[in-house]
Structure 1
């Protein structure tokens, strides 16, 4: 029993000792750095290669740090730096190895060279003895190097990575591969058999331009790929890759897209199919290319065979209703990339590529282009139509960077021809050219005229030299025009320049700019220029010397002379220097003097972003600005000006001033008399500093009118903010009708004071203008307006209001309303004009009183007038035209007469015109009152129209010495004001032997085609009724002269059946002939004839319109002889012999 207890005690002591030893070993290995190093040495001894570690720190239990860990054998080398490892060692008791964290600054894998030919891919791994879990980890940089493998992976991160048996799973993997960010979720792969795998893969370009997402499934034996690509070219990829048991992976893939926009053109419904291996695949594609210019879709399809280096052969066809095109060739995208192709066009509309082009082209060309080779188009042969003109192009073209080489190039469009042969490079230009372009307008919209040129262009692109000739006729470009140009350049030596040029009929926006001419002589290093210019009586000449200074030009203005009959002769006092370069330019000092004036440019200098200018002008005659004043006006006086400015740091500093002395504005009146307006003071001063400016301006007109303007600009720019004050005062306005002839005798006191604030282009206005004790006359209407009291008030951010009143004769006028955006071109006016029996027209023969209630609206489009106008009283008298007066034809042109200026202002609206009880008209024998109402409508650029009816009341009509009572009369307006529908009855009552007779005339129809009908009570023949109407007696009592009067009245009144009436009158008065004729040189005439006896016949013809009478007497001497005499405008006597033919 004692032995047993001793054995037990010794056993327990031994176990305790083993436990202590084991604990010590575990403590040494797991909790000391020395133990960690010992463990790494033990691992190294059991690996097939070698493992080395340096800079080892920490422990296995608390976390291990290894500065550099290297494993290598005969085939591979793996190097890890800054490795950190933290494990959960207690998990080993549960049969698994768990790493809490694993991080490395970098891991580099280097694969060795293969010892034999590549073998089909086989993937197999023995099951792991225990599961391994890495909760999280990060490898900042993973480099993979080896045969067929070159990749840098940055920021590899994972979460919940598990290795169990032969399966690897990860909840999430993320990494940056070159320019892509890749993420895989729910990834799993089994390294056995067909190697099944699955994951949700997403990726995005680091610049955010392209991204995609989808799933990868199946196995390496048959891997299924689905990806949805997003970005500027969205597409869907569906494919299958066969990798396992193959040396070269094989793939079958389809890419589809709905719409891609490339260079503004839509590519729709596209499909690309790839089949094969990376070293031998076939590609097929098709898509729709849409061009609105071509009127629809163009279908593109093609195919190619290639490898990783490019396409050994490809073909592409474009088919559309607008023609077709094709290309066949080769494409290499390996370094350096290159492509060659044979291009062909067939009946192709160039509008597919640019909306300004239209037509049909056919032809061919050879294309060659590459990364290290220029773009070459050779064998160019195109023909067809372009923008409705014949077109052709031939030659060979090479383009490389900034160089261009064109050999035997010829371009024809319409009758325009361009030939080029040569090259242009950054340092050298050698081009021979021939241009014959009689139809410049079809070459470039906006061009016009004809240009002919031939010669050689050489030198450098920055300073080319032309040798040859250039001529042009009727040349135009937008607002510029030249009747002709002529340039002749002849260079004797390699660098010699000898050129003459002239420009005739130069103009801008139809404003003549005169003619210019000159010569240029010297060489490329030094040129002498003699220039001349003339416009009407103004001429200028100058001589310059130009010298090349590096990349710039310097020179000397040796002479300058300007002659003008208004400004005198100005001459350059001494030569002045100037220089122009990329970094600095300068000019001055330059001084021009005339007999009384002086212009001096003291300094003009620009260095970088700094500009300095100092100039002054003294005693400049204002006559030089005569072309700026309106026609019929002239200006005289002198002006002084100066500026001293500096622009630096994006701000102006300095001063500007303008002074005018003794300014006189002369206006030529209608009678030829010249009236002068004296403007003694015009001045402007501007001070620029701190980026802004202050401006002060004053003007005075004698007698008694002055104005001042003070402005402060936040900065010198068109969109700056402005604040200022404007004032105006005056009491004598006698000069205003000289400038504004539409008004006369303006009087009153005008005082204005406004404050301006806001944007310079549209400042707000506050303040007021008041016109009191005012009067004026409107000459066209002869209306004197008196007691004028007008007020214009402005408020910031609001429309200006207008109120006013005036006396017009014995009546009143009032106006009210507002003007929006007063100081802007887009201003809008809305006014209301009311009145009570105001005189609207006051001429001796035309006097009209009115009571308006009108709304007047205006903007840039014109005026719109609407409302009511009541005319309570009017007295209108129109004198009869002198006898024999005729209205001139619209085709008549008066030689020397000034054409009337076209009205630029558009008018529109609708006004209701109401005629009162005292509106009387006396015109052309008519004396009547007018009653009724009209609606007047005016559409812009359309004739005035009227709707309504006017009644003739209490009226008489006097014609042919008789006064006819207007029984009834209406004028109905349904269109143009001058062509109403007339319905008027005028009667005369006569007491005849048989009883009372009422004879009348009925006028009906449009005013420009009135029909007249004579009627009577009791009823009788038209000629009988006309006799009662005109003579007051029956036709049987009419004499021959009265018969002629009746026939003339029938024609003059436009009576229907006038010839029948004249026949009735002729028979009644005993004439053999009484007719109206419209033949021959006499025009329309009344002809009366009488056979006096068997031998004598008399005829009298009276021209209705010419008012000339002709008497013809014909006396028969024998059967064949007749004596005929005539008198009238011409006299004649003839002896006629008559021969009868059978």
Structure 2
């Protein structure tokens, strides 16, 4: 610094170098800065004390962050004396980039996490985007504050980073602050923000407030002062809202708002004005929920947001694959022209409100593997953190494919998901106290398919949620239908699931029978879901071994250990995911049996002459594997191979009439036979 003192001008100097550093932030000058401190020039020839004044001349100041240029201040001049001051200057250009915002947040201690994710071309575009602004100020104070501050866009654009970066496509952006004297020690500040984009629409916010000055030169805004705000918004594309949803949903559509607000003496606000929306959409793709073509009518009333009507017409996007559901929703006139309507109110100040939701023939769920059209009414009452849900829902049509459950990915219980930059999981937010009392009626057209099951489902449940625990009262019943298990087609004769509290542990009463054989055999499941009991049943009642053979093989047990063949068949079914593996090779039956190789089941022996001195083989040594193939309705061919001995028999069977068939065997045992079988049922 160089300079000196004179009686006429006071102290005058030139500040040659300025270097300020703090925590990575640096301020430095370009060229010398004129400084003046001394008595103000005389305003009259009379000898009177002159007040002291100060002046800072033109200066160019660079602001750096971590050695990188942040902005440049072009100071045009500032001066002041007792009770008054004025300043003028600009920042041109003020460059805003996502990286600079991140760096500044890190310096302020509000960020600093390194963003992860995949660096796609679009995210690279976000990192390269920049917005060039210009800031001008001209302010003065002489018992009241006055002047102007203006921030406006020069050129460029900004892409907001995120999972799906959004380019703003700015066409105009400006922020003007005009301050004018209004009364003694009082000024009135008027702010005007205008933003115009190519696709998202336009926004204008105007606000006014008094600014008070004290005798000592201080400035303040009093809470009891009347402040005003006027918001005019025309958003042609609500996709920018998705930035705040974290990927949980996708919002779209057009919204127009004209809201005016005025503060009260107690510091609260009152708002009025309409809010209108068109072509609204809410998408939750993973859940199959797509609310389309919505219209919104709402208004502000004091501190309440009044939802007069939010309507989504029923739009059928997907035709269910299940033929009964598809027929009803496409051909029945009563299934057309449905809709979803919401109305209610929310008090922003008290965080209380209620919403009524009405469904009429509305396809709330539309996916290739599930479908639901519902009617009914729900009411949501909230007084945060408590939320209450009540009402009744009836399924007009529904279908659920159980096989989709096997395709739902899930993380192991020991997996912890961290957001980019996190080292430990974020603390859980304050939990909401959600309470629900819902009645759900499945109606007459709800179906379950998949995993061999094809059945209707009827019944109703009363659901209750308290303290995070869901309970249910009611019963669900199967309506006809069948289930394929172990390669067999079983008819559902009875199916009831009764809920008496814990929704995860209902009481089961299910019976499925194979009905294409003389003895109808099947399984019965009773008990609770956690402790079920599975029994074999038959009509008429037969032994357990016979139940198994009739269920799995379609005929009664042979005379020499049919239980082994049953175990073989069941095992093969498990190994092939529910379908016997031998069917993949074109066979109709593959089983293990015990008895005489080549036997027809007659009481007469297979051989009537002595062929050796052996007194007979044990049951284990008499086991053999039998494979068969039905060539036509009457003709069947089979092959029997001994396991413990060297014997092979090929058999050709031809059904002459009901119960009577001719058989020819060749190999270890050769011969011809006429076999007549019958079953006596008391």
TM-score when scaled to structure 2?
0.60
Residues 685-717 of structure 1, C-alpha deviations (whole Å, 9 max, x = no match): 223342442111112232260011111113453
Change (3 A) 1:743 1:894: closer
CA distance in 2, matches of 1:556, 1:890: 66
Give me the whole-angstrom Cα distance separating, in 2, the residues matched to 1:607 and 1:950.
Answer: 87
In structure 2, what is the equivalent of residue 791 of structure 1?
Answer: 297
Shift of 1:806: 2.2
- CA 986–609 in structure 1, closer or farther in 2 if over 3 Å, else same: farther
Aligned partner of 1:657 in structure 2 is: 150
Deviations 1:98-120 (A, max 9, x none): xxxxxxxxxxxxxxxxxxxxxxx
- For residues 90 and 386 of structure 2, what CA distance do their matches in structure 1 show? 43
Sort the Cα spacing of 1:799 and 1:895 in 2 relative to 1 into closer, same or farther, 3 A. Answer: closer
Equivalent of 1:708 in 170, 194, 204: 204
Determine if the alignment matches structure 1 residue 982 to structure 2 residue 442. no
Take 1:1048 and 1:782, find their aligned partners in 2: how far apart are those partners?
38
Residue 61 of structure 2 is matched in structure 1 by: 591
Map of 1:1000 onto structure 2:
522
Tell me what 1:850 maps to. Answer: 374
Question: Could you tell me which residue of structure 1 aligns to residue 176 of structure 2?
Answer: 685
Instruction: String of CA shifts for 1:222-274, please: whole Å, max 9, x gaps.
Output: xxxxxxxxxxxxxxxxxxxxxxxxxxxxxxxxxxxxxxxxxxxxxxxxxxxxx
SS at match of 2:412: coil
Give the secondary structure class of the aligned counterpart of 1:1043: helix
Residue of structure 1 in register with 2:554 after alignment? 1032
Cα shift at 1:1044: 1.9
Q: Structure 2: where are the runs of 5+ without partners?
A: 1-14, 36-52, 118-122, 181-185, 212-219, 316-335, 578-590, 597-617, 623-642, 645-682
How many angstroms does 1:609 deviate by? 9.3
Specify the alignment match of 1:161 in structure 2.
Answer: none
Which residue, 15, 30, 34 being the options, matches 1:573? 30
Classify the secondary structure of the residue corresponding to 2:380: strand
User: Which residue number corresponds to residue 532 of structure 2?
Assistant: 1010
Match of 1:765, SS state, is: strand
Q: Per residue, is there more strand in 1 or in 2?
A: 1
1:1039–1:622 Cα change, 3 Å: same
Give runs of aligned pairs for residues 242-391 of structure 1, distance below 5 A. Answer: none
CA shift at 1:684, angstroms?
1.9
Distance 1:617 1:872 in 2: 65
Report how far residue 613 of structure 1 moved: 7.2
Q: 2 CA distance for matches of 1:1009 and 1:1051?
A: 25
Q: Deviations over 1:138-178 (max 9, x none)?
A: xxxxxxxxxxxxxxxxxxxxxxxxxxxxxxxxxxxxxxxxx
Query: Which residue is 1:1044 aligned to?
Result: 568
Q: Which is higher, the Rg of structure 1 or of structure 2?
A: 1
User: 1:866: which partner in 2?
Assistant: 390
Distance 1:570 1:983, change over 3 A: farther
Query: Residues of 1 paired with 2:509 and 2:89: CA distance?
Result: 78
Q: Normalised by the size of structure 1, how large is the TM-score?
A: 0.37
Using a 3 Å threshold, how does the CA distance of structure 1 residues 819 and 1051 change in structure 2: closer, same or farther? same
State the SS of the aligned residue for 1:837.
strand
Contact 1:771 1:790 in 2 (8 A): yes
Q: Pick from 764, 769, 776 the counterpart of residue 275 of structure 2.
A: 769
Q: Return the offset for 1:659.
A: 3.0
Residue correspondence of structure 1 range 21-36 to structure 2 within 5 A: none
SS class of match (2:221)? coil
Distance 1:888 1:685 in 2: 52
Distance 1:1090 1:889, change over 3 A: farther
Q: Work out the CA distance in 1 between the residues paired with 2:576 and 2:270.
A: 66
Tell me what 2:221 maps to: 717
- Cα distance, 1:922 vs structure 2: 0.9
After TM superposition, give the deviation of residue 665 of structure 1 in Å.
2.3
Contact 2:357/2:379 (<8 A) preserved: yes
User: Aligned ranges for residues 984-1133 of structure 1 at < 5 Å?
Assistant: 984-989=510-515, 991-992=517-518, 997-1036=519-558, 1038=562, 1042-1046=566-570, 1069=594
Offset from partner CA, 1:881-918 (integer Å, 9 cap, x none): 88xx9997834549999899978773442222121100
Aligned to 1:559: 19
RMSD value, Cα:
4.9
1:585 and 1:605 in contact (8 A); partners too? yes
Partner of 1:728: 233
Alignment of 1:197-596 (within 5 A): 558-560=18-20, 572-573=29-30, 591-592=61-62
Cα deviation for residue 1068 of structure 1 reads: 7.2
| Aligned twin of 1:21 | none
Describe the SS at the equivalent of 2:558: helix
**2:630 — aligned with what?**
none
SS at match of 2:442: strand
Candidates 477, 482, 493, aligned match of 1:951: 477
Q: Tell whether 2:94 aligns with 1:637.
A: no
Kindly indicate whether structure 1 or structure 2 has the higher relative contact order, using CA contacts under 8 Å at least 6 residues apart: 2
Report the secondary structure of 1:1033's partner residue.
coil
> Structure 1 pair 663/903, CA: closer, same or farther in 2 (3 Å)?
farther
Asked whether the equivalents of residues 557 and 577 of structure 1 are also in contact (C-alpha less than 8 Å), the reply is no
Corresponding residue for residue 620 of structure 1: 95
Residue 776 (structure 1) shift: 5.5
Residue aligned with 1:1036, SS: coil
Cα distance change on mapping 1:978 and 1:700 into 2, 3 Å: farther
